[in-house]
Structure 1
Amino acid sequence: MSANTPEVEQKRGFRIPIPFWAQVLLGLVVGLILGWVARTYDVSWLATTLDKVGGIFVQLLKLAVAPLVFFAILVSITNLRKVNNAARLATRTLLWFMITSLIAVVIGLAIGLLTNPGNGSDLTPADGAKPDHAGSWLDFLTGIIPTDIITPFTELNVLQIVFMAVVAGIAILKIGTKAQPILNLSESVLELLQKALWWVILLAPIGSAGLIGNAIVQYGWDLLGNYATFTIDIYVGCALVLFGVYPLLLATVAKLNPLQFFKGAWPAIQLAFVSRSSVGTMPVTQQSAIRLGVPKDYASFAVPFGATTKMDGCAAIYPAISAIFVAQIFDVQMGIKEYLLIAFVSVIGSAATAGLTGATVMLTLTLSTLGLPMEGVGLLLAIDPILDMMRTATNVAGQALVPVIVSAREKILDRTKYDNAKASGFDDDIEVYEHTKTDQAEPVTAAA
């Protein structure tokens, strides 16, 4: 069904004629101004309000994370039954996740080694503090399997939730028709969660004002002084991947026009920048992939899978530059072995980030693997919210990119849809989502 039906056109008449991206930008500007006012003139009630507004927005996003991840992964696994050569598509998807992560971590290492972000900073080891819990490979490996089915949801252990969802999805496939009622219920619950999440996402302009305003109140502009090179490194690294590597892969590997990709994926990228949550952005990312011509059944597998495991910003660029930064602050020498370990951790351990705001788990995992002081985590916590916006935007762009590349190479991409992808607004995404979620999917066949 076309999104441009009379009913849709009628609904548009009741909407605020301000594009969603403009609403988000306005929210950021208002937040900057209010944060500056609250900090400069010590307006405590305004500072508290900004803190609460931003906190509630993030809390609403997190509220849906656990059940959304579980049912999205479960349903995506079962959707593979509608895809011919599903194992091939899944393998190719994972392979491209790893390839792009490796490219991203190499860029991060190169930037860190060229700029020496820790040198010239006034920070000292005394400014750091150990986190309450430091991640390790033992924690990562043993932590995949939950001790019960309740704790992962109450403690928001996304990695364990993904494990249970994969097991449940495979079990449903094995059981067959007898498990159809459970699958029907899961699909209904997933649509309910996605609908509720759309409502939360519509609050992004207000939430962004609170988040950026609170960051200014808490840290001010002086904070950027000691982290200037480090902050620039993260943003430049993410920008190189987002606007350099991704377009190059689209043009050379997939033989696609990169500009069309950004037109189709921009709503997801801009929302990721504001929300700082790959999982919270997942419905928009999935719709972006479908709009770009990725078959719906494949997109419903690849995007949720990527939202919990594909993190080029948080799990590749960030830990690479951060490790060099911490090593320089603590005067620890690193060599080829350590750089190879960083690459290994980034490619294999990215699931530890789990699509939530922040990348502390991945950072602690990287530092512990390299034997670097864990106090380095404390050095980076203050600046983290500012960095996380660009990191998450890069994450989400990569989560939309890989399904497009795989679909193009497997000759299942609808190139007409891709070539006609528009730079639609977020409101248009809601309309498309409402209509396409009930469409009958065509069988998907990967090229042999």
Structure 2
Amino acid sequence: MTATAPPGSIASSGAPVSEPWYRQLYFWVLTAIGCGVLTGWLWPRTGIALEPVGTTFVSAVKMLITPIVFLTIVAGIGGVDSLRRVGRVGLKSLVYFQVGTLVALAVGLAAVNLFQPGAGVHVHPGDLHLSGDAARYVKDGAHQSWWDFLTGLVPSSVVGAFADGNILQVIFFAVLFGVALKSVGAVGAPIVEGVNRLSAVVFKILRYIMLAAPVGAFGAMAFTVGKYGISTLAGLGRLIGLFYGTSLFFVVVVLGGVLALIKVNVFRLLRYLREEFLIVLGTSSSESALPRLVAKLEGLGVRRDIVGLTVPTGYSFNLDGSSIYLSLATLYIAQATDTELTLTRQLGLLAVMILTSKGSGGVTGAGFIALAATLSTVGTVPAAGVMLIFGIDKFMSECRALTTLAGNGVATLVVARWERALDVARVDRVLRSGVPEPVEAPGR
């Protein structure tokens, strides 16, 4: 008997299977990004005026993030045969996230020490004045402690966690709900079935929203180029180039090496996720591709409980792109302000950044808040130095989001292999063809 695809699978998410290239989403998103760049460059006022187009699309996707995270986790836990397995998957995911964060931070530190992008800038800290959003982010970061990501786990209100879009708090409640649902046995079975049915509806809504992805990508890219201008890239081109180059190295060499150990080709995986990468590139938000990433990984044959726990949790604890950015930006500011940092102090910064990189998931200006929190905690690098990179942060946010998306996709495959629940032959077959195979129903 052939099982039907469960909610959240490729079939229910609306991803293309066998359509010609000119009808596939990635083609239209890529075209929209190109048109957005030209519009912002040639008609900057028009590009700036298109900001609501991009932000509205991102808001529409984010509207579904918390319910999808909740439903995916609950369905994943409800579908396993043992709560012990849930705990094992969660623990393995957190271990991998910590190792991944440490490696990403170390790669960033090594790159900035090797290429010295801030050398020769010679900015006096007293000449830097905080203003606008940068001042607000630094203020938020100064009041953020390294333990905030722990105390922020528990929401004061369940409804408030969903309303605020706090993924970390939604994950906490979803895990509690899923464990309790599994613990009550047969009494909870109808609720699990209801969760699966509700997931089908939510993913259908997502399919409708994703039809507007090219429009959203066009508006977001036109606004970015129109407001900040391509010339903005020239002034800090070395730092931007180093960040993109380091992130590419991390994805291809570090993550590629990890995938090679489990006999998965990184380039085929990147091609398989091309639509998700283009959506992230156009919107500068890794969250906008979260639901589709869940569906694509299930299409590779990864078990639903592993996907349901690893992917949402990774969006708070496995921010590889933000980790590389954090180490690069911190040492760039130190170099630009002629702040001497010995190897011992850099290792101390690394220890602090492991914690502060976890403390701002789901918060507006998360990268800047984490950066300011790091500088405020250590005190050796002037926090006002964030003004040196504030103007180009928008151009760097795309790279942060793209790297984070790749990192969470790899993390899920690694945890699945660690659990001995990954059919490598099926993964290779799907990646070669680009056509996801039907997902077996839970319990089959």
TM tier, smaller: 0.7 to 0.9
Question: Which residue of the partner structure matches residue 332 of structure 1?
Answer: 339
Question: Which residue of the partner structure matches residue 441 of structure 1?
Answer: 442
Question: Do the aligned partners of residues 356 and 242 (structure 1) sit closer, same or farther apart at CA in structure 2, a change above 3 Å counting?
Answer: farther
Aligned mate of 2:172, from 163, 174, 179: 163
Structure 1 unaligned runs (5+)? 4-10, 444-448
After superposition, the C-alpha distances for 1:385-423 in whole angstroms (9 at most, x for unaligned) are: 211112111111111112222333443211221121246
CA displacement at 1:164 relative to structure 2 = 2.2
Contact 1:57 1:203 in 2 (8 A): yes
Is 2:95 aligned against 1:88? Answer: no
CA displacement at 1:138 relative to structure 2 = 4.5
Question: Which residue of the partner structure matches residue 52 of structure 1?
Answer: 52
Contact 1:111 1:237 in 2 (8 A): yes
Is 2:298 aligned against 1:290? Answer: yes
Structure 2 unaligned runs (5+)? 6-15
CA displacement at 1:111 relative to structure 2 = 0.8
CA displacement at 1:106 relative to structure 2 = 0.9
Question: Do the aligned partners of residues 242 and 353 (structure 1) sit closer, same or farther apart at CA in structure 2, a change above 3 Å counting?
Answer: farther
Contact 2:100 2:318 in 1 (8 A): no
Question: Which residue of the partner structure matches residue 199 of structure 1?
Answer: 208
Is 2:39 aligned against 1:34? Answer: yes
Q: Secondary structure at the match of 1:145?
A: coil
Distance 1:189 1:376 in 2: 47
Question: Do the aligned partners of residues 166 and 330 (structure 1) sit closer, same or farther apart at CA in structure 2, a change above 3 Å counting?
Answer: farther
After superposition, the C-alpha distances for 1:217-245 in whole angstroms (9 at most, x for unaligned) are: 11112222332121112101110111111
CA displacement at 1:324 relative to structure 2 = 0.8
* Count of residue pairs the alignment pairs up: 421
Aligned mate of 1:19, from 12, 24, 27: 24
CA displacement at 1:29 relative to structure 2 = 1.0
Question: Do the aligned partners of residues 276 and 348 (structure 1) sit closer, same or farther apart at CA in structure 2, a change above 3 Å counting?
Answer: same
After superposition, the C-alpha distances for 1:4-52 in whole angstroms (9 at most, x for unaligned) are: xxxxxxx98998833322222211110011101222xxxx4x2354212
Q: TM-score, normalised by structure 1?
A: 0.83
Contact 1:267 1:284 in 2 (8 A): no
CA displacement at 1:71 relative to structure 2 = 3.0
Contact 2:162 2:170 in 1 (8 A): yes
Contact 1:109 1:320 in 2 (8 A): yes
Question: Which residue of the partner structure matches residue 8 of structure 2?
Answer: none
Question: Do the aligned partners of residues 255 and 379 (structure 1) sit closer, same or farther apart at CA in structure 2, a change above 3 Å counting?
Answer: same
Aligned mate of 2:413, from 401, 404, 411: 404
**Alpha-carbon RMSD:** 3.1
CA displacement at 1:66 relative to structure 2 = 3.0
Question: Do the aligned partners of residues 381 and 57 (structure 1) sit closer, same or farther apart at CA in structure 2, a change above 3 Å counting?
Answer: farther
After superposition, the C-alpha distances for 1:123-175 in whole angstroms (9 at most, x for unaligned) are: 66425442242232243333222223333333333322222222222222333
Distance 2:257 2:182 in 1: 38
Q: Percent identical across equivalent pairs?
A: 27
Question: Do the aligned partners of residues 161 and 294 (structure 1) sit closer, same or farther apart at CA in structure 2, a change above 3 Å counting?
Answer: closer
Distance 2:61 2:417 in 1: 32
Question: Which residue of the partner structure matches residue 311 of structure 1?
Answer: 319
Question: Do the aligned partners of residues 12 and 259 (structure 1) sit closer, same or farther apart at CA in structure 2, a change above 3 Å counting?
Answer: closer
Distance 1:290 1:150 in 2: 29
Distance 2:234 2:330 in 1: 19
Contact 1:292 1:417 in 2 (8 A): yes
Distance 2:208 2:391 in 1: 30
Is 2:288 aligned against 1:280? Answer: yes
What does 1:221-240 align with in structure 2 at a 5 Å threshold? 221-240=230-249
Distance 1:261 1:385 in 2: 26
Distance 2:356 2:176 in 1: 20
CA displacement at 1:214 relative to structure 2 = 0.7
CA displacement at 1:110 relative to structure 2 = 0.6
What does 1:1-16 align with in structure 2 at a 5 Å threshold? none
Letter in 2 for 1:260: R
Q: Of the two structures, which has the highest relative contact order with CA contacts closer than 8 Å and spacing of 6 or more?
A: 2
Distance 2:19 2:113 in 1: 53
CA displacement at 1:183 relative to structure 2 = 3.4
Question: Do the aligned partners of residues 362 and 170 (structure 1) sit closer, same or farther apart at CA in structure 2, a change above 3 Å counting?
Answer: farther
Question: Which residue of the partner structure matches residue 361 of structure 1?
Answer: 369
Distance 2:61 2:208 in 1: 10
Question: Which residue of the partner structure matches residue 75 of structure 1?
Answer: 75
Question: Which residue of the partner structure matches residue 446 of structure 1?
Answer: none
Q: TM-score, normalised by structure 2?
A: 0.83
Contact 1:357 1:388 in 2 (8 A): no
Contact 1:277 1:355 in 2 (8 A): no
Contact 1:73 1:301 in 2 (8 A): yes
Contact 2:79 2:443 in 1 (8 A): no
What does 1:102-181 align with in structure 2 at a 5 Å threshold? 102-121=102-121, 125=125, 126=128, 128-129=130-131, 130-131=135-136, 132-134=139-141, 135-181=144-190
Distance 2:85 2:62 in 1: 34
Q: Secondary structure at the match of 2:155?
A: coil
Contact 1:34 1:213 in 2 (8 A): yes
Distance 2:271 2:248 in 1: 17
Is 2:275 aligned against 1:267? Answer: yes
Distance 1:119 1:387 in 2: 20
Contact 2:316 2:358 in 1 (8 A): yes
Distance 1:19 1:162 in 2: 32
Letter in 1 for 2:211: L
Q: Secondary structure at the match of 2:209?
A: helix
Distance 1:187 1:364 in 2: 41
Question: Do the aligned partners of residues 389 and 106 (structure 1) sit closer, same or farther apart at CA in structure 2, a change above 3 Å counting?
Answer: same
Letter in 2 for 1:221: I
